[in-house]
Amino acid sequence: MACAGYFATRRAMLAATGASILGMPVRHLLANAGKDHVQKAEHVILFWNGGGMTHLDTWDPKPGRPTQGEFQPIKTSAPGVEISEIFPQVAKQMHHAAIVRSIAGTQGDHGRATYQLQTSYLPGPNLIHPGLGSVVAHEVPNMGDLPAYISISGFAPRAGYLGQKCEAYYVGNPGEKDPYLAFPEGIAEVRGNRRLEVLERFNTRFAGTKQDPRLSDTKTSIDDAVRLMRSPALEAFELAKVDQATIDRYGDNPFGRGALLAKRLVDKGVRFVQINRGGFDTHTGNFPAMRAHGEVMDPALASLVADLAADGMLEKTLVIMLSEFGRTPNVNANAGRDHHAAVFSCFMAGGGLRGGQVIGSSDKDGYEPHDRPVKVPDLHATVCHALGIDPAKEVMTPLQRAMKLVDGGETVKELFA
Amino acid sequence: MLRYWFGLGLATVLALSASPVTRASEVDLVLNEENARQGVKQAPLPSASDLAFLRRIYVDLIARIPSEAEIREFEAWPAETRRDKIIDKLMADPRFLERWTVFFEDMLRLRTNATGGAALISFVHKALSENMPYDELARRLLVANGKAGRTPEVGFILGDDADPMAMASVTAQVFLGTRIGCAQCHDHPFDVWKRQDFYGMAAYFGKTRRVESQLTRVVYTTEVDQSTVMWPPDENASEPRKPMAPRFPFPIEEDNGSLRFLGRLAQLRAPKETKVVKNPAASVDDLLADADTKVKTRVGLGGNGLDPQAEAKKDIRKIDIQASLQSQSELRNKLAELVTSPRNRYFARNLVNRMWKELIGRGFVEPIDDFRKDNPASHPVTLDYLSEEFVANGYDLRFLIKTIVRTDVYRRHRAPSDTEDAVRQELEVAFLATPMRRMISESLYDSIVTAGHLFEFKHPAGANEVVTYEKIRVPKTVDGKPAKLSTPMLFGGRPMAGMAGMAGAGMAGSTPGYALEDAIELDFTKVLDEEGEEVAVEQMRVMSREELEAERMMKERMARGEGVEYVEKTIKRVADANPKFNTSLKMESPAPQGHFLRVFGQPTRQDLGEARDESATMRQALMMLNGRLTHEASRVGPLEPVASLLQGERPDVPGAIKLAYREIMTREPSAAELSEAREIVAGAASPMEGMADLRWVLLNCNEFRFLP
């Protein structure tokens, strides 16, 4: 989990030492050396909406068009930016946020599209590409005691060739006790600590004088685990200690609690939090389903952005909401919308981007990109850019094949302008 | 001989030398000569002690440590023959087949969740039980055509969607230990492989198609006339593109009589009549029967009002499925002949090298799938000697395993822990010392279960009763009464807990929140029914945490559903949480993400060349320190032998400690360890708790997970 700690790049190590060359802090030198990679963001909160969320009924309303559907657009705190009525609270935070309305996807199958949106690569038959969270955990040094990459409420992509240390740490049901973070039931603190002391003695003796690195790795892993178990930062997981009014503000449901937990984790230094939610594959009954989703998503997303902004954390935290594709502008016979990859939208806020703007547009009915098409890997390059990661950096697979962190892609620079 | 460990102290050296020295096998003689020719001066480490050997051979052959009863049985046998005897005993154990099925699952990248994957795993298990020659196994995987599940072998090419490019890489890497995949896009930078070689190899798969019926979801492979593999590969090439002609890029040696092992193989196989292989192809009726049920299910879900029978028939008749299933792949038959030819040296060398690595801890060629000129074998003569013997003995996998574990090399001691790193590596490269090897995750899991007496109940019935109260919602039925409780809607603060308990029927004593440590058995013999067809195994899966979450979210949505009325009830559940665990060798494979097996390095088997990850991670530590498996294995059960040594009028604590060391470490404690352990036991609230503490430490320490 201490992913970047293990694979600390020279660049990161230099930066971490706070060393200076010719009187200029190394951090600045590095920032300059990295051309346009100006590192502002330190954390990412990714909302993954599985199933393919309709773009027309969320971020890209089409008032007065036959494809409009049942929702009306509403004005937001960003002049000229309108979003769907299912997001009344998010609308008040739009001055912090940006919407990309011209993502030009290519995959209409859930599996392939999910893979591409989460990794930037298309699935190949015999290679697993790492998800965005693993890339970040690999590239950015750890901060604090908690794992660098945490996935809440389900699926996160694998770390692939970045290795097990860059896999997500799972949190099943936010707010619920994770049995692995404390001694087993019935083992009191004193007894558990005594066990750990004896274990350390046994392992030290076994390792002998010339430590085999694999034996010392076990020791490191145990030390990391114990540090986590004893860390005051674990308190972030204890939503029971949060006052009910705050929980209610986010929504007392897994999604709201997940967003609240994400905020608390980022405060403790976690680099990448992914919050998963499904149920967007609305082939039938799209509108009541989206209204219900809105009721859950709106307070959580709005409260998160507002709270990050209030704490001064929004500048350092990129919030992004993604789905594998959009949905057809035409409404089908079952009052649903089907898969549509040719154009769809995403929501972003914080992380140094300029709020209150819309990037690109779809055509008047929401079928195709109209203006400034954004390729899927462009989104990944953009997230990397926000964090000061070079998306073109190459890492080696176990077969010594050099792979770029992002499959091509160019930063959507206007976001930061 | 004393040259490299006089620093150890005389007592250690004497202890090492005192262990029985086995007769050097032919392999050892060849290896010793080769080492001498290479100027290796060091002396080999002596043979490991009998008990260290016993632990090693149990874990390697049947993927768990021996029990106390098994240690005693071994110790009762005559010292001169006991090592050979235990090899024969373990190779006859059913677990031997399961453990070596795992070896092939890793090598061939088999996955229960791939199309036809479970059937293919059962097929490999069956092939091992019948001791199918390795060349036949490989050939059948390469040539198969048919329906997924119905023709188990076809799962192999379906695992890569029968994609010619993928199959070219897979065939070269898995069966020939060579990475030609790079040559798909460019001439190989460090090797002789050219793009033509890659496309020539891919062309053997060029006429094979994966077909999936859109309506019935029946998946099968078949042959068509037109190849998809074109040359030149670039679509915008200036010259016109033509189908690539298949060409095998690996050398096939001349049979000029000088290769004696070829004659021996021919002699071995001559008297046997060729068996008539039952035509594994499916009939139209088979497919229809299958299609029917699938269509019904889909119609039930989607409600599109089609007549399933008629649609399925129409769908299937459109393609002449009978003819296409019968069609044999001439190209792949030719390829299989070349790949498995005894005159293709790469084929046997690859398997021998993989097997040697699995058992010795280091291959002649490393990495095991990178045979090339610039990466020569450390001991080419020994590798060829073993490879030729393997071929001459009819590609007999049992022969190969047995030959390797009977060598001195297999039995050597590890380099002492104070050996300089460079010296240790020299010793290991020359196979003079055994490298440190961590148990594979399946062995680690099953060894903890064995050491903790968790394959059977160790607490009396009712001793672990847990009473829980749960608020549940059940939908009202038409008459207003609550429906059956069999599928309760979960409600309130602890939905995961209930779900974990419901995740699988076969899960005894599962505790809330620990589903990632459960193993649900999948019976290899029952995956294929009498007709050899795959039966549904989905119900037997352990649910991953994500799946549990998905299910929970689904139920939550249902619980919110409009138009359904619910009755709220508080129910009392009494569960006997008497822990009992199943073997991990028979569960869904690979295990779900986050499962114990995966956390300890079981590969996903998606990537080509993905080795078992042996690195230590924090997740592993958390699972071992705080998990349910280690906790329950440490707890002393009243029905265990050690309990009677700790309780009663005349407790025998030293006896109990010795037993714990034998059960967990397969050795006796030293005098210092014994007195240390007595302190641990005495310092606890009760001897039972003290023993649990000791056992927890033993299970968690490095000595447990790394082989002696």
Last residue of a domain, one of A191, A219, A237: A237
Q: Which pLDDT does position A4 carry in this prediction?
A: 37
- What are residue B575's DSSP bridge partners? B466
Q: B16-67: per-residue pLDDT in tens?
A: 433 334 445 899 999 999 999 999 999 999 999 999 999 999 999 999 999 9
Q: Which of B626, B634, B635, B693 to mutate to test the interface with A (most CBs of A within 10 A)?
A: B626
Q: Are residues A156 and A267 in the same domain?
A: yes
- Kindly report the CATH number assigned to the domain that includes residue A94: 3.40.720.10
Q: At what angle do helices B134-143 and B330-339 cross, to 10 degrees?
A: 150
Q: What is the CA radius of gyration of chain B?
A: 29
In tens, the pLDDT along A159-203 reads 888 987 888 888 878 888 788 999 998 899 999 999 999 999 999
Name the residue range of residue A115's domain: 35-175+246-416
Are A230 and A141 part of one and the same domain? no
- In chain B, which among 337-376 make CB contacts under 8 A with chain A? 367
Question: What does the block give as tokens for B619?
Answer: 């997740």
Q: Is residue A45 part of a domain?
A: yes
Residue appearing with tokens 């890209």:
A60
Does residue A391 share a domain with residue A337?
Answer: yes
Number of structural domains in chain A: 2
Smallest CA-to-CA distance from B644 within B630, B659, B631, B626 is with B659
For A1, nearest residue in chain B (alpha carbons): B618
B451-464 pLDDT tens trace: 999 999 999 988 87
The answer on A71 and A123 residing in a single domain is yes
The residue ranking higher by pLDDT, B236 or B286, is: B236
Are residues A100 and A167 located together in one domain of the fold?
yes
The answer to whether residue B508 scores a pLDDT higher than 70 is: no
Q: What is the pLDDT of residue B462?
A: 81
DSSP state of A163: -
**A93 lies in some domain:** yes
Give the DSSP letter string of A53-89: --STTTTS--TTSTT-TTPPEEE-SSTT-EEETT-HH
On whether both A262 and A321 belong to a single domain, the answer is: yes
**A343 and A378, same structural domain?**
yes
Domain boundary among A192, A208, A237: A237
Selection from B426, B335, B345, B410 nearest residue B378 by Cα: B426
Give which of A215, A231, A290, A399 to mutate to test B binding, by max B Cβ within 10 Å. Answer: A399
In this structure, are A142 and A281 located in the same domain?
A: yes
Query: Looking at the domain assignment, is residue A398 inside a domain?
Result: yes
Average pLDDT, rounded, for chain B: 81
Query: Looking at residues B145-157, what average pLDDT do you find?
Result: 89
pLDDT on residue A172? 77
Last residue of a domain, one of A207, A237, A267: A237
CA gap B137, B339 in Å, rounded: 12
Q: Work out whether strand A24-25 and strand A20-21 pair parallel, antiparallel, or are unpaired.
A: antiparallel
pLDDT at site A287: 96
What's the confidence (pLDDT) of residue A230? 93
Tens digit of each residue's pLDDT (9 = 90 or more) over B555-588: 555 555 544 556 666 767 677 778 889 999 988 8
**CA separation, residue B162 to residues B202, B223, B224, B583 (Å):** 11, 11, 13, 33
pLDDT confidence of B385, banded at 50, 70, 90?
very high
Higher-scoring residue by pLDDT: A32, B246: B246
pLDDT average, residue stretch B382-404: 96
Q: Do A161 and A77 share a structural domain?
A: yes
| Residue ranges of B 22-41 with Cβ closer than 8 A to chain A | none
Structure tokens at B482: 């609550």
Tens-place pLDDT, residues B259-280: 899 999 999 998 755 554 444 4
Q: Nearest CA to CA, how far is B692 from chain A (Å)?
A: 10
Residues of B in contact with A127 (CB under 8 A): 606-608
Is the pLDDT at B293 greater than 70? The verdict is no
Task: Measure CA A244 to chain center.
Answer: 26
Which residues, other chains included, contact B538 with Cβ-Cβ below 8 Å and sequence gap of 6+? none
- Same domain (yes/no): A411, A322: yes
**Cβ contacts of residue B382 below 8 Å, gap of 6+?**
B27, B30, B31, B34, B364
- Report the complex ipTM: 0.79
Report how far residue B670's alpha carbon sits from residue B693's, in angstroms, rounded to the nearest whole number.
Answer: 18
Question: Global pTM?
Answer: 0.79
**Residue recorded with tokens 């007709």:** B531
Residue B461's pLDDT is: 86
Supply the pLDDT for residue A102.
97
Q: Does A275 or B212 have the greater pLDDT score? A: A275
- Nearest Cα to Cα of residue B32 among B433, B410, B435, B430: B430
In a domain, A23, yes or no: no
**Residue of chain A minimizing CA distance to B547:** A154
| pLDDT string in tens for chain A (417-residue length) | 334 333 333 344 444 443 434 444 434 444 444 445 455 899 999 999 999 999 999 999 999 999 999 999 999 999 999 999 999 999 999 999 999 999 999 998 888 899 999 999 998 766 889 999 999 999 999 998 899 999 998 768 888 889 878 888 888 788 887 889 999 988 999 999 999 999 999 999 998 876 777 888 898 899 989 999 999 999 999 999 999 999 999 999 999 999 999 999 999 999 999 999 989 999 989 999 999 999 999 999 999 999 999 999 999 999 999 999 999 999 999 999 999 999 999 999 999 999 999 999 999 999 999 999 999 999 999 999 999 999 999 999 877 789 999 999 999 999 998
Contact B553 A279 (CB under 8 A): yes
Residue B364 has pLDDT above 50, yes or no: yes
CB contact under 8 A, A209 and B706: no
The tens digit of pLDDT for each residue in B515-536 reads 777 776 666 666 665 555 555 4
Same domain, A167 and A227: no
The span from the CA of B155 to the CA of B111, in Å, is: 9
